[in-house]
A and B are shown apart, each in its own frame.
Chain A
Amino acid sequence: MSFLRDLVVDREVAAAIDSIPNNINSLGYDPWGLNPEAAKTYFSLAKLIYSYFRPNVVGIENLPAGRVLIVPNHSGQLPFDALTVATACLLKAQPPRLVRSMAERWFPTLPWVNIAFSRSGVVVGDPINCRNLLDDDNAILVFPEGARGSGKVFQERYKLRDFGRGFMRLALQTGTPVVPVGVVGGEESIISVYDWKAGAKMLGMPYMPISPLLPVLGPLAYLPMPVRFHITFGEPLHFTGPFDDEDSEIDKKVRVVMEAVDSLIAKGRSGRKGLFT
């Protein structure tokens, strides 16, 4: 097994993970199940997928040291946007960051996926998890659009769904800067023209995308196309005020982040010459 792992583990990934301070016990785990050695394997596989999308990463120097909430738009049916942003933070940020992604509450129910996610630092998107990790000065990757964002149909592409307020309350409570991110490319890599809600309900999924290529390609229609990703990190936004303020007050601050993400998406879209370049 160990020689197989040596074969898979990418040196750049291993060096980056080794350089990051962590909070693991004598058996190699943190309370959420992060295991840096296993994370090396999973991030090496992630790097292959990352290379497939050839992301153009702009502005990652905006990522501050210490605690930070990284807030991108969500798209693309499968969480390849999370994977590319997390891999970019590991390989391109100075110093490298092992982001802790906030995932849907049903991920622990998915066999094997739950193990891969936990070992690489993904946690259930819960305010207490988030606060504990911010208190330890982690970088948190959170998609406030949630599944409503990633399940968007093609006609609605790059139109932000309303952000949740949880991330803003946590930013205020823990004094954490918010780095807005625009991810462009996800919407075109797996195309959904219809969200089949009855099917989703039947299978216990948050949405069920129907690809226009389904009649031609069958299940292969859900393989992502090698669209080039453009990931633009904005400058950190600092917010002050009571974290337990009324929703309407929190919404005003959330609106600022949404506008920042919107303009970063626009920047990314105007910068690209074609889908694959």
Chain B
Amino acid sequence: MAKNVLITGISGSLSQRVAERMLAQGHHVVGVDYRPPPQGLHPNIKFYLANYNKTKIEDVFKKHRFDSVLHLGRVGNLKESLGKRFDLNVVGSQKIMNLCVANNVKRVVVLSTFHIYGAHPANHIPIFEDEPLRAGGDFPQIADAIQLDNMASQWVYQHRKTKTVVLRPTNVIGPTIHNAMSSLLRRPRIPYLAGFNPMTQFIHEDDLAAAVLAAEAGDGVGVYNVAGSGVMPWMTALKLARAKTFPLPYTAVIAYLKMFSAFPLYLVNFFRYPCVISDRHFRETFGWEPKVSLEDSVWTTVADARQMQGQKPQYAL
């Protein structure tokens, strides 16, 4: 049966990958974003420009009777001020959820992030969904992401008719993804923290898009980690990305990141301490499993950039 689906953050790549898959399954997709539509947006996606915390989004819900809402539009981009991120991520998400409840939306999938667990020396391995979110202690900038996650987790139990799934994916990478981690991996020279090489996970955009679809189609509710194909040390990821690397002490890495990239500081600890999550519960509940290997996940993310930087593609798929 064809469903009406609302996808937030549609100007971002992950939302578009999810939208294309939903369209291919014969569903109707409406996309909304606070940013203008990207070039090459799939013509069958009905696009609305709207802030999630303003009234225009209410009209979108009135015009379309949504069966499912995929709230993938969390603003992770720290170029936006904390105030704006709070408005979009916390106030906006609350508004979207209230609209879902008021309009009898049956299924909601919210994209959170594993960053809220925080990379911490005391982390055990692996981390499951019911564990403390440590990131806020070290980096208050992540408060909006923690609050979005907490709020969405409460909906799971407050609004039983609107069945909600919250996904906490690990580092999302892939050829069309332009978040902080993917952009860092594409840099020709990447610094690492001298003396540290923590275990790191990545999930390819295709695997995460499939996970969102599995969550939408299933009927489980709750909070789930989504971890991808495995674990490797950070330096191994840099090797797979065929980047030139150089060691820096902690303070210098921070200065470097401030100067050369929009890389959020709260991610720097992920280059020092491990934060390894388990997605066993998600796999068991939704029958999903990742298809893209660790090697391919990293290489497909950087391949185009490396070609432009004049490197011969030595690692063939």
Query: Do B195 and A129 touch across chains, with their CB atoms under 8 A apart?
Result: no
With an 8 A cutoff between CB atoms, is A248 at the interface? no
CA distance A106 to B272 in the complex (A): 12
CB–CB A124/B231 < 8 A: no
**B19-27, B119-127, B149-157, B180-188 - the one binding chain A:** B119-127
From the candidates A27, A112, A123, name the one contacting B125 in the complex (CB within 8 A): A123
Main secondary structure of the interface of B (DSSP, over half): loop
Our count of residue pairs bridging A and B at CB distance below 8 angstroms stands at 66
A38 closest partner in B (C-beta): B233
Q: Is the CB of B294 within 8 A of A27?
A: yes
Judge whether B233 and A33 touch: CB under 8 Å.
yes
* B residues 270-317 in Cβ contact with A at 8 Å: 272-274, 276, 293-295
Which chain A residues border B274 with CB–CB below 8 Å? 33, 108
- B137: shortest Cβ distance to chain A, in Å? 15
Residue of B at shortest CB range from A131? Answer: B124
Let me know if B197 is at the binding interface, CB within 8 A. Answer: yes
A126 lies within 8 A of B122 (CB):
yes
Q: With contacts A29-B232, A33-B274 known, is A112 near B195, CB below 8 A?
A: yes
Verify B125–A129 contact, CB threshold 8 A. yes
B 38-61 binary contact with A (CB < 8 Å = 1; else 0) = 000000000000000000000000
| B82 contacts A by Cβ under 8 Å | no
- A31-B231 in contact given A115-B195, A115-B196, A115-B197 (Cβ < 8 Å): yes
Q: Which of A110, A111, A123 has the most CB of B within 10 A?
A: A111
Task: Tell me if B122 and A27 are in contact (CB < 8 A).
Answer: no
Whether, in the assembled complex, A2 has its beta carbon less than 8 Å from a beta carbon of chain B, the answer is no
Whether A32 and B195, one on each chain, are in contact in the complex, defined by CB atoms closer than 8 angstroms, is no
Instruction: Select which of B194, B199, B232, B294 is within 8 A of A32 by beta carbon.
Output: B199
Q: Let me know if A27 and B232 touch, CB within 8 A.
A: yes
| Contact across chains for B122 and A29 when beta carbons are under 8 A apart | no
Q: Tell me which residues across on chain B come within 8 A of A129, comparing CB atoms.
A: 124-125
Residues of B within 8 A of A124 (CB): 121-124
- Chain A, 22-43, contact with B by CB distance < 8 Å: what is the 0/1 string? 0001110111110000000000
Q: What residue of chain A has the Cβ atom nearest to residue B194's Cβ? A: A111
Identify the 5 closest CB pairs spanning chains A and B, nearest first: A111-B195, A108-B121, A126-B124, A128-B124, A112-B195
Could you show 17 A-B contacts with beta carbons less than 8 Å apart?
A: A26-B230, A27-B230, A30-B231, A31-B126, A31-B276, A32-B199, A33-B199, A105-B122, A106-B121, A110-B195, A115-B195, A123-B125, A124-B122, A124-B123, A124-B124, A128-B124, A132-B126
Known pairs A27-B230, A109-B273. 19 more at Cβ < 8 A? A26-B293, A27-B232, A27-B236, A27-B294, A29-B231, A29-B232, A29-B233, A31-B125, A32-B199, A33-B274, A108-B273, A108-B274, A109-B121, A109-B272, A114-B195, A124-B122, A126-B122, A129-B125, A132-B125
Interface residues of A (CB under 8 A from B): 25-27, 29-33, 105-112, 114-115, 118, 123-124, 126-129, 132
